[in-house]
Amino acid sequence: MFTYTIKQIADISNSVLYSKTPDAIVTNIHFDSRSFVQIPHALFLAIPGKNHNGHKYIADLYAQGCTLFWVEKGCEYPLFDDAHYVESENVLRAFQTLCAYHRNQFSIPVIAITGSNGKTIVKEWLHHILSAEYAVVRSPRSYNSQIGVPLSLSLMSEAHQIAIIEAGISMPHEMEHLQKMIQPTIGIFTNIGDAHSQNFESIEQKIAEKMKLFAEVKSLIYCADYRLIHASAQNISCEKYAWSTTGNGNIHVQMQNRDAKTTQITIVQNAKKDVCTVPFVDSASLENCVHCIIAATILSAQQTLDEHIQTLPQIEMRLEQKKGIHNCTIINDSYNSDLQSIRIVLEFLSQQKQHSKKTLILSDVQQTGMANDELYKEISELIAAHEISRFIGIGSEISKYAHYIETEHLLFENTHDFLQAIATIPFENELIVLKGARCFAFEQIAQRLELQIHHTVLEINLNALIDNLNYFRSFLYDETKIMIMVKAFSYGSGTFEIANILQNQKVDYLAVAFVDEGIELRKAGITIPIVVMNPEISTIELAYIHNLEIEVYNFAVLHEVFRCAALHPEKQYNVHIKIDTGMVRYGFQEHELPKLMQEIKAVPQCVIASVFSHLVGSDEARFDAFTHEQIALFETCSSYIQSVCTYPIIRHILNSAGIERFPEHQYSMVRLGIGLYGISAVNQEKTRHVSTLKTHISHIRSITSGTSVGYSRAGITTRDSRIAVLPIGYADGLRRTLSNGVGTVLLHNVEVPIIGNICMDATMIDITGVDAEIGDEVILFGEKHPITIMAKKLETIPYEVITSVSQRVKRIYYLE
C-alpha cells in the first residue's frame, strides 16, 4: 500500500520539508484541485503548467481541510502554520522519483504496454485473463501520461503478483522518464499509427522514442508485420516474441473465422502449436488478442488463458453521462470496478452540480488484493467524503460490510434481485452513478434507468473538448481571460453539460444568447459570470435577478438597465459594451461613445465590466486588411471608454480564428466559440473532433436494378442493390440537400451514399458490397468522417451543421 510519512517523501525525492510534524502520513495523492474532496492523508501536488498552476489553489484547498502540499521552488504560495510543505525543484519529476522508488519495492513481473492504439484494451484483456489466478494491479482507465504513470505505480502493494502499466507519449524524450519509473520486465508494443504524430519528425522517430520503454525488458512482444517496429526492435537486447501472419517473425500466427462472431487463432513457435477461439472477427481485436495470448503464455498462465480467452469482453473505455428517467442524470462507468476507478468516478460526480441528490449503485469490488474489511471500510470513507445521498450495494460480499456505510442504503444479492425491485425504488431528479464489475451485467440496469428517446445519438467527447480549450489557451498570456460561447445549446452539444465542464476548467466567463439560457444554467448550479449577448428588453430585469450580466448594444437596452438600477439601487449592474467595428449588426458606433459614457457615468450602479467587438473575417486571409482596420477602430473606441472610466475594464475582440491568427491582439480577454468543438482556421490537425453524430441500421432489404427508393421516386438503382434504412431524418437535422447521393455516411469505415430523398424520420443508404447487418453503427459525422465534409456538401459552415442537430437527438457525454 502507498503509505509514507511526509519526511520519507521529502528524503526519497531529494526535496526540502517544511513541517512541524514530519511523521504526518500520506496515503492519497491529488493533483486536480477541481476534484479534490477531503479524505484522510491526502497530499496535493501543486504542478505548474502551461495552462494552469496548482499553487493558485492551495488557499482554497486549505480551506477545504487539506494540509499536505507538494510545491515547486520559485512559485508563490500561501504558508499556513499547521500545513506541511514538500518543496522540490520540479514537482512532477520529484513525484516520479518517489513512484520509481515505490515500484522498486516489489519484485514482481511488470508488463508495460505502449503503441498508437489498443493499449487500454490489451491491458484490460490481460487483466481479465490473469486475475483469475493472480492478484493483478493495473493502470486505471487510460492513465498513461507523465502524471498518469506514477499514479498507476502508486497503486502497487505487497498483495499484488503482477502489474500491468500503460505508457503513452506525445513528444520526444518523454519515454525516458516513464521507463525509469516502470522498469518493465515484459514489454508489449501494440502497433503504430498516426495518433500524436505532430510532434515527431517521422514515424521512425516516433517508434524509436516509444521503443525506449523496453530498454531493459526481459521479453518483448510485438507484431513483426509492422516492418518499422520490427526493425527498431532489433536494437533491444532481450527475448523477442515477434509474431507474424506472413512469416516475418519467429512466431507464426494463423487466423481463421469459424463463424460471423468468432475466430480460431493458431500460434506456432518452435514446433509447438497452440490453438484457441476468441469472440472477435475484426483485425484490430484479433491483433490485441494475440498480444494477450503470448503475454499469458510467457507468464505460464495457460490454464487461466484457456478458461478466459473465450470470454474476453467488449471494452467500453469511457465514462458516459446520459439523461435518465424522471429528470435524473446517469453516469455509467461500469467498464471496470476497482478502488482507484471508484475514486475517479466519484471525483467526476463531485463536479456535477445539476442535482443535489446523489446515488451510487456499486457491485462487489473484486480482485483488488486488499482484505475485504479494509476495502469496504475505505469505500465507506469515499462515500462519506463525496456526500453520497443514497448507496445501493449489489453482491454478496458488499452486503456483509454494509455496517460501515452511514448513509441511506439498500442491499441486493445480485443484479436480478435489484431489477426485480427497481420499480419500487424512487429515482427522481438525482445523479445516479453505475459502477459494477462486468460479471454483474450493469448494462441491464443502465437500460432500465436511461431515458430511451431515439436510436440516433450525438456523442460529445469531453476529453477532446478540454484538449481544444487548452490548445487555444496555449496562445494566451497567463493573465488573459477567456470567455466561452455556450449559446445555441452550446453549438448543439448541450448547454449545462458543457458549461459544467468549463466551470471546472476555470474559464472566466460564459456567454449565452438569451436570458432564459442563462437562468437555466444558474438553476443547474453554474456560478461563474454569465453574459447574455442578445437580451430582449423585457427580460433584462429578470437577468439581473438571476445574477446574469448584459451585453449593451444600443441606448434602448442601456436605458432598461438604468430603469432596473433605479428599482434596486443597492445592486451593482455589470454591463458589456458592444462596439460595431464593421459587422453592422449590433453595437455602438464611434460617434455615439461620448453620449454613452456621459449617461453611464450618471448611474454609478452601472459598471462597465468589458468592452468588445466582433471580427467579421478573421478566419480568412483575404480579409486581413479589414481585420486590422477593425482592430484599429476597436483600439480607438475602447481606449476612449477606458480613459473615461476610473476603474479598469476588460477588452476583447478575438474570436476562435482570431486567437490563432492574431494572438498579438488578445487584449485582456478572448472569446472562444466553434474552436472549442475542434474547428480550426489554420491548425485543424492540432484540434480534436468533439461531436459524433451516429445512428444504427434499422432495416435492410435487397432490390433489383431499376427499383425506385423513397419519396418522388427520386432514387433509382442502376444495379441490384442492398438498401439500409437509418432512423434519422430531416426532423433530426439531416438536411434534405444531402439526398440522392450528395451526402455520404460511414459504415464499417466505408463511405456509402444516401439514396433517394431524406424523409422526416428516416434515410436510406446504398450498402451494396458492404458486409453489414441490422444494428450496425453508422457515422453521419465524426473524427473519421469530419463535419467539414458535410458542411462543404451543404455549401455552408460547420456552425450551421452542428447547431442544426435536433434536441430530440439524445446527447451522450463521455470521458475517455
Which positions are annotated as active-site residues? 487, 711
CA 568-571-576 angle, 5° bins: 110
Residue 618: how many other CB atoms lie within 10 Å:
25
What residues contact 354, with CB distance under 8 A and at least 6 apart? Answer: 329, 431, 496, 500, 524, 525
Distances (CA, A) of 126 to 130, 219, 268, 291, 412: 6, 16, 20, 9, 30
Nearest by Cα to 148 from 168, 162, 164, 128? 168
Cell of 540: 433584462
Residue 574: how many other CB atoms lie within 10 Å:
19
CA distance 279 to 268: 20
- 3-state per-residue secondary structure call for 549-605: EEEECCHHHHHHHHHHHHHCCCCCEEEEEEECCCCCCCCECHHHHHHHHHHHHCCCC
With the CA atoms of 287, 291, 296 and 300 taken in that order, what torsion angle do they form, in degrees rounded to the nearest 10? 120
H/E stretch holding 517 reads helix 515-523
Residue 189 φ/ψ, nearest 5 degrees:
-105, 105
CA distance 554 to 758: 43
CA distance 676 to 659: 12
Nearest by Cα to 105 from 167, 29, 156? 156
Nearest by Cα to 438 from 336, 539, 522, 290? 336
Do 182 and 101 touch, CB atoms closer than 8 A?
A: no
**Maximal C-alpha separation, the chain:** 94
Q: Is 726 strand, coil or helix?
A: strand
Interstrand relation of 16-18 and 408-412 (parallel, antiparallel or unpaired): unpaired
Interstrand relation of 186-189 and 110-114 (parallel, antiparallel or unpaired): parallel
Q: Given its phi and psi angles, is residue 705 left (phi above 0), alpha (psi -120 to 50 degrees) or beta?
A: beta
- β partners of residue 298: none
